[in-house]
Amino acid sequence: MNKKIEEALNEQIRTEASSSQVYLAMACWAEVNGYDGTSKFLYAHSDEERMHMLKLVKFINERGGKAIVPALDKPEASFNSLEEVFKKLFEHETKVTNEINKIVHLCLQENDYTTHNFLQWYVNEQLEEEALARTILDKLRLLDGDKSGLYMFDRDISGLSVESEANTGA
């Protein structure tokens, strides 16, 4: 495996692991603040990010590289509102998209079309995750702090996922 690409993929392992921790911290905040549906959604999102990390680990190892499990920084754990949580989630997802795009570009520079092909799954996944986060933010902004609306939002979000959005075309 190309060493530059191996290093970039290992850094992406850190990014995906960090994403899992960020969403886990958000889920904990939501749970202790009575947002059970949101916490369920964020716990599932945290698990999904961990699976993204594991997919990279296995790819690197199977290609003859060496995946590195990183130490992680403690994520932010206190938020003022659900809107703030999802605004930060959206910002985080756009950063992840930028990181994936950098690796895709590196693959093209290094003529590593196998890894480029592998990363297309991540490119598509990021499109879906950004769209989902944007949709959630739009719904929260429509509520404008309405407590009964927040209750219904929290109830409904527990069944929402990247996969369900992609499958319904929503």
Q: Which residues are annotated as a binding site for Fe cation?
A: 16, 49, 52, 93, 126
Dihedral angle computed from the Cα positions of residues 2, 48, 23 and 116, in that order, rounded to the nearest 10 degrees: 30
Q: What distance in Å separates the CA atoms of residue 116 and residue 8, rounded to the nearest whole number? A: 12
Known binding positions: 16, 49, 52, 93, 126
Question: Which are the contacts of 34, defined by CB distance < 8 A and separation ≥ 6?
Answer: none
Q: For residue 4, give both structure tokens.
A: 């530059």
Q: What distance in Å separates the CA atoms of residue 79 and residue 70, rounded to the nearest whole number? A: 26
